[in-house]
Amino acid sequence: MRVVESLGVDATTDTITTIAYPHHEIHSGSHYYIQGYLEMGTTTTPYRMKMVTPNSEKWSHFIFQITGSGITGTTFDEDASGGMASGDSKIPFNNDRNSTQASGVVFTTGVEAASTYATRLEDDKWGAAGFKQFFGGGNSREDELILKQNTTYLRTFTSYSDSNVIQFKASWYEHTNK
């Protein structure tokens, strides 16, 4: 039998204090992220990021945020295959900077297009023509996707505006179901 020694209680309100489960994963050292930005124009080749999940029972619970200062498009493809040559390895950061745990997810940035994919999970575009193109917009997914194990995903960013600054953040925790 497991015994709960004490529950956190707020001294001001006498209410039980809790944290959301993803926040708990940060404290456990199992929560990771990558983030960055791209400066793209209408003539820029789409930018692609390949993500491969490990072949293990530790599944990635994934969310993301993307914004663009101009008209921006993005796709997220599951079971991508073929192509995707070149690129640079991008090492995910652990949100608990004291943890030595490393993510099992492998990222390669700046890859070429995939030949095929099984499922397009996302196909988004935001912004508008004319003066409004400078207002941009964004997209995020706060309902986590539990990514398939041993699977290749491909995120593609496309700019439909000049001088478009696209910011992105992907975060996830790695958890084994009980």
Give 61-108 as a 3 state SS string: EEEEEEEECCCEEEEEEECCEEECCCCEEECCEECCCCCCCCCCCEEE
Tens digits of per-residue pLDDT, 20-75? Answer: 877 778 778 889 999 999 999 998 899 999 999 999 999 999 999 999 988 999 99
Is residue 141 predicted with pLDDT exceeding 70? no
Domains of the chain from N-terminus onward: 21-176 (2.60.120)
